[in-house]
Amino acid sequence: MSTKNLLVAATSAEIKGICGHIEPYVVTTINNNWDVIITGVGMVATVFHLTNALHKNTYSQIINIGLAGAINRDLSLVQVVNVVSDEFAFWGAENKGEFLSVFDLNLHSENERPFENKVIAPLQTNINLEGIQKVNGLTVQTVTGSATSIDLLLKTYKADVESMEGAAVFYVANQFNISAAQIRGISNYVEPRNRDNWKIKEALDALNHAVLPLIDKC
């Protein structure tokens, strides 16, 4: 089994503070222990490019890094969190003002691999994440930014943070039997869209500071 690891990010902005410029979609070696891939934004791009990378290379561990929006207001802006479970948001059907998941509709078993009680928990890595708060994630196709969407999200899920790729990474990693972790910096609260409140640069700086010691400097 390879001892090499893979760092996964959706965008170059989320990775350049660690590794500098990386060409998107291409597996790039950054040191003796780590490769990196930029998959593009969203679940579909993530599943495709990560799966393609894993068909061509063998890894023992994956770390997905990026930004997240905080659903849980007890979390702080710029805080770095360790997402220990994730799920796909609004995967199912609307029914007279309520949402029915694919699990509710009996279209997918809630414990069919890689799901366990409707969520995906990754195979544990041996990477030391002690001191980084553990949270539950929700992966969305559209970043939540309206009062109506937020109300439905809060009624439907108990997640702490949202991203656009996390559950996709866990899904692929589990299917390949590869250990994975997800580390994110909180750039904003999930609220009616207001970019003036976002702390993107600060969250990226905090994320880079947390991740660099884990992978050896590039």
What's the pLDDT at 186? 98
| Alpha carbons 99 and 97: distance in angstroms, whole number | 7
Which tens digits make up the pLDDT trace of 175-210?
A: 999 999 999 999 999 999 999 899 999 999 999 999
Owner of token pair 């998107």: 24
pLDDT of res. 215: 85
Backbone Cα Rg of the chain: 17
How many independent structural domains does the chain possess? 1
pLDDT higher than 50, residue 6: yes
Cβ atoms of residues 102 and 108 within 8 Å? yes
> What pLDDT is attached to residue 98?
85
Q: Which residue has the higher pLDDT, 85 or 217?
A: 85
Is residue 1's pLDDT more than 60?
no
b/e code 25-63 from CB counts within 10 Å (16+ = b): eebbebeeebbbbbbbebbebbbebbbebbeeeebebbb
Strand partners, 181: 63
- To the nearest whole percent, how much of the chain has pLDDT over 90? 89
CATH code: domain of residue 59 = 3.40.50.1580
| One-character DSSP codes across 9-46 | ESSGGGTHHHHS---TTS-EE-SSSEEEEE--SSHHHH
Q: How far is CA 59 from CA 36, 51, 62, 78, 94, in A?
A: 11, 12, 7, 30, 39
Q: Which of 33-37, 45-49, 96-100, 116-120 has the lowest mean pLDDT?
A: 96-100
**Percent of the chain at pLDDT above 70?**
98
Give, as one character, the DSSP assignment of residue 197: G
C-alpha–C-alpha distance, residues 49 and 53, integer Å: 6
Element (H, E) at 74: none
Q: How confident is the model at residue 2 (pLDDT cuts 50, 70, 90)?
A: low
Please say if the pLDDT value at position 31 is more than 80: yes
Could you give the CA distance from residue 70 to residue 10 in angstroms, rounded to a whole number? 18
**Which range has the worst mean pLDDT, 40-44, 150-154, 185-189, 213-217?**
213-217
Range of the domain at 87: 5-215
Say if strands 61-70 and 179-189 run parallel, antiparallel, or are unpaired. parallel
The answer to whether residue 217 scores a pLDDT higher than 50 is: no
Distance CA 171, CA 43 (A): 10
Return the structure tokens found at 122: 């990754």
pLDDT of 13-22, one tens digit each? 999 999 889 9
Task: State the Cα–Cα distance between residues 170 and 180, nearest whole angstrom.
Answer: 7
For residue 218, pLDDT over 90 is answered with: no
- 117-173 pLDDT, tens digit per residue, is 999 999 999 999 999 999 999 999 999 999 999 999 999 999 999 999 999 999 999
| Average of per-residue pLDDT values in the chain | 94
In order of 71, 138, 161, 206, the CA distances from 154 in angstroms are 8, 11, 11, 27
- Amino acid, single-letter form, for residue 201: K
